[in-house]
Structure 1
Amino acid sequence: MSTKYPTSTRWIGTDEAGKGDYFGPLVVAGVLVDDSIAKSFKELGIRDSKKLSDSRVRDLATRIKKTSLFSTVIIGPEKYNELYCEIGNLNRLLAWGHSRVIENILKTEQCAYAIADQFGDEKFIIQALMEKGKNIQVLQRAGAESDMAVAAASIIARAEFIQRLAALSLKYGIDFPKGASPQVIETGKEFVERYGKERLNEVAKFHFKTTKLVLAKTGDTQQSIAT
């Protein structure tokens, strides 16, 4: 069943990458499309980045950036942990990121509405929008990646996440895996043993329950780390 959106020739799609990954940043991206660009994206094979290989994601991200106005907000692990402690709610943190990319695009071009994948109450994004974003309609829908603008945003966000995670791996000499699997826990243990628990917030999202599992592996507890 197709979802009906407001009739408009231009709209913004937003999506994020890194939300469920213990290591690496949270990246939010927004892409502005019109009917013609959306059609060309469909012909190009643009779809939800989770259904694409990393190499394909990188290739498509390059093509999207040459075609459309876009914006990215990159929240590295240290800043992410700082903001999470300040905001105290992941949905509000996501809303902050989504609203920023919408605003950034609206500084250059205007459009009627923006579409985001469902992650919480729509009011989180609406409340987070500043002056230039207040006149735009924000729609959140489950499975919004079927929209070409949202799918394109998911690809740009994922490509940036992949690049940033690789940079962290190079910096610390540890191959940081995606997700929050048992392999992630073992990698976290290796990091703590090499660099110390105090530096875990440089590479990981500290509020994940994975942190307790990592520290338990090293014989320590999360409570012993000052946040």
Structure 2
Amino acid sequence: MASTITLTVSQQMLEKMYQHYTNQIIKVPNHTLFQAKTTHCTITAYLSKKVVFQGKAPEVEAQKWQTPPQAASTKAKTSSSKLPANIASLSAIGCDEVGTGDYFGPLVVCCAYVPEELISKLQAMGIKDSKALKDPEICHLAEQIEPLIAHQVLILPNEKYNTMIDRGMNANSIKAFLHNQALIKLTTSLPHYPSYLIMDEFVNERKYFDYLKALPKQPTIIKENLHFIQKGESVHVAVAAASILARASFVKYMNIMSKKLNFDLPKGAGNPVDVAGRRFVQQFGPEKLKELTKWHFANTNKILK
């Protein structure tokens, strides 16, 4: 019978857990840093710093991260990214990404600028978080909003993703780098620097900037007016638009690669991906698999064993 243990940890501990379980990550559900699976249990780490251990022996993994009561620190306050009450009606850039938890798919980030005069129009079109929409609907909406709003999409193929991982980066530091690059390109293309930039939070503000400062080639860091908000798509339509444009680009990329290979590349990182991965290796070999996948995912060992 499955048991459950829930811990609330510090941001530093959350990052250590990510590093510890990085080779056992199976997917990245909404509002989580990762979900990993060991022989003892499944570990789901949420951006809220809550970590859930569930399975036949969750205590084996949970005890690695439990802090003695006397050493427990006061719960950190959520970093305040204060936005005005009427932010939903103000011009803003929204930032989001897709593909983090996809074994075959690329990592795609998008930053989109929605001026206040277009907000009601996008809302009337049904622009909302891409996770709440099906892919055909996403692609249709993307075609409608692409010519309306300024945006910047960056697609990172897995071959480059793996190179960055091999150099010591992780999924979050890569996302920070890509988002910053997209923001540089977008903000410099606009006539005026926006008053509000809203990042759909995948890591806290301090860690985001730590990642950027640690890059060997120091980039220009976009920091002014940048806010980190969980569930950003519910705060401003610009984040939802970015989500849709990123997902549409992801779907198009997957379709193009599938046609090029004459092989239906699956999305996600679940069991169907492992099954498809074994067929892929039989047809194209392990080197081609490495080129097209996030090699550090647990799927690799399952496919090649």
TM-score (normalizing by structure 2): 0.66
CA distance in structure 1 between the partners assigned to 2:200 and 2:91 by the alignment:
18
RMSD (Å) for aligned C-alpha atoms: 1.9
Residue 205, structure 1, aligned to residue 294, structure 2:
yes
- Residues 121-180 of structure 1 deviation map (CA, whole Å, 9 limit, x = unaligned): 22344453843724x222222211212001000000000000101111112221111111
Q: Which amino acid aligns with 1:123?
A: R
Aligned counterpart in structure 1 of residue 228 of structure 2, from 126, 132, 140: 140
> Contact between 1:30 and 1:153, CA under 8 Å: does it hold in 2?
yes
Aligned counterpart in structure 1 of residue 260 of structure 2, from 171, 188, 205: 171
Q: Partner of 2:121: helix, strand, or coil?
A: helix
Q: Which amino acid aligns with 2:205?
A: E
Q: Partner of 1:131: helix, strand, or coil?
A: coil
Aligned-pair distance for 1:4? Answer: 5.9
Residue equivalent to 2:148 = 67
Residue 18, structure 1, aligned to residue 99, structure 2:
yes
Q: Which amino acid aligns with 1:148?
A: V
Aligned-pair distance for 1:32? Answer: 0.5
109-118 vs 62-71, greater mean Cα deviation: 109-118
68-77 vs 84-93, greater mean Cα deviation: 84-93
Residue 105, structure 1, aligned to residue 193, structure 2:
no
- Residues 86-117 of structure 1 deviation map (CA, whole Å, 9 limit, x = unaligned): 24221111111111111111111211231122
Residue equivalent to 2:130 = 49
Q: Which amino acid aligns with 1:142?
A: Q
Aligned-pair distance for 1:30? Answer: 0.6
Residue 119, structure 1, aligned to residue 225, structure 2:
no
Choose 1 or 2 for highest CA Rg: 2
Aligned counterpart in structure 1 of residue 166 of structure 2, from 75, 85, 90: 85
Aligned counterpart in structure 2 of residue 5 of structure 1, from 83, 92, 96: 83
> Contact between 1:12 and 1:113, CA under 8 Å: does it hold in 2?
yes
> Contact between 1:87 and 1:93, CA under 8 Å: does it hold in 2?
no
Higher helix share: 1
- The percentage of aligned residue pairs carrying the same residue is 35
Structure 2: any 5+ residue segments left out of the alignment? 1-80, 214-218
Aligned-pair distance for 1:10? Answer: 2.5
| Higher relative contact order (CA closer than 8 Å, sequence separation 6+) | 1
Q: Which amino acid aligns with 2:123?
A: K
193-202 vs 155-164, greater mean Cα deviation: 193-202
Q: Which amino acid aligns with 1:77?
A: N
> Contact between 1:115 and 1:138, CA under 8 Å: does it hold in 2?
yes
TM-score (normalizing by structure 1): 0.87
Residue equivalent to 1:193 = 282
CA distance in structure 2 between the partners assigned to 1:210 and 1:13 by the alignment:
32
Structure 1: any 5+ residue segments left out of the alignment? 217-227
Residue 154, structure 1, aligned to residue 243, structure 2:
yes
